[in-house]
Amino acid sequence: MLHGSIPALITPFKNGGVDESAFARLVEWQIEQGTHGLVPCGTTGESPTLSHGEHQRVVEICIEAAAGRVPVIAGAGSNSTAEAVAFTKHAAEAGADAVLHVTPYYNKPTQAGLIAHFEAISDASGLPILIYNIPGRSIVDMTPETMAVLAARDNIIGVKDATADLSRVEQQAAACGADFIQLSGEDATAVDFNQRGGVGCISVAANIAPALCAQMQNATAAGDFDTALALKEKLMPLFDALFCETSPSPVKYAAAQMRLCDEEIRLPLLPASPAARQKVDAALSGLGLI
């Protein structure tokens, strides 16, 4: 089962292209630190600015480097259903364990349109599918009732929930069943999410503090919420700093400060501002990461 601390991996760039060696090293370090799974080509991986060839190569590198030690959930979402299907087929051929599909952004489909979109992806491949519900970026909110229709399909297995509405955990469990996998998409509320029935987090902060994020998730899985809450309190300055400006600018800066990769980011995003850098530096220093 997909669970625990699952970083939405950054995509390292160098001189305008994907830094393949840095990305492979990042995957190896993540596994060494106790990460439970990996998501290449999510929003944090700057998927909107990757060419199709780059997107496919990043997924392939992640699968090759992970070598079956942890599950790889390939980002494959698009606001074009045909493109989402193509990315899903590639992920299956490359050996991904599952795919993550965001609700189509910009187009603003109805709930019936969302069902048709995900059914088309489901029909095209038997690969397990996670729905990514993030109304703040996609402008579309998939309701628990719509999710229940999709959850009836064998290969639509769960959700990455970034609605910031913790009541959704119980609502989605009631609608979709206890076996429907619910992963948080927000670091700051991940412990509370698990207390309500979630089983993990697809995380930005785990790019930078994978061991602590894994420990926090392990504590919730063991029912030790006192330890989990203490770790959350310790990590909160980092959670806050990494979202003080549009992600992934702050997390790219943090990774550069930790010598994980270059800071390079693609337009229309800009490198972290001086004020953001101060916040990130303070958070990294407080955790002993620099």
For residue 242, what are its two tokens?
């990494």
Choosing from 14, 89, 108, 160, the catalytic residue is 160
DSSP E strands in the chain: the ranges are 4-7, 13-14, 17-18, 73-75, 98-102, 129-133, 156-161, 181-184, 200-203
DSSP state at residue 33: T
Nearest by Cα to 56 from 15, 26, 11, 22: 11
Residue 114 to residue 15: CA distance in whole angstroms: 38
> Which among 164, 79, 166 is positioned nearest to 114, based on CA atoms?
79
- Strands 4-7 and 200-203 turn out to be parallel
Is position 132 annotated as part of the catalytic site? yes
Alpha-carbon distances of 239 from 179, 231, 233, 260, rounded to whole Å: 29, 12, 10, 18
Q: Which residues on neighbouring strands pair with residue 200, listed in sequence order?
A: 4, 183
Query: Residues with Cβ < 8 Å from 41, sequence gap 6 or more?
Result: 11, 47, 50, 55, 58, 59, 74, 75, 76
Nearest Cα to Cα of residue 196 among 226, 166, 175, 221? 166
The 8-class DSSP code of residue 239 comes to H
Q: Establish whether 160 is a catalytic residue.
A: yes
Q: Which residues contact 218 (CB under 8 A, 6 or more apart)?
A: 4, 34
Catalytically annotated residue among 132, 232, 252, 279: 132
With contact defined as beta carbons under 8 Å apart, do 150 and 115 qualify?
yes
Where in the sequence numbering do the catalytic residues fall? 132, 160
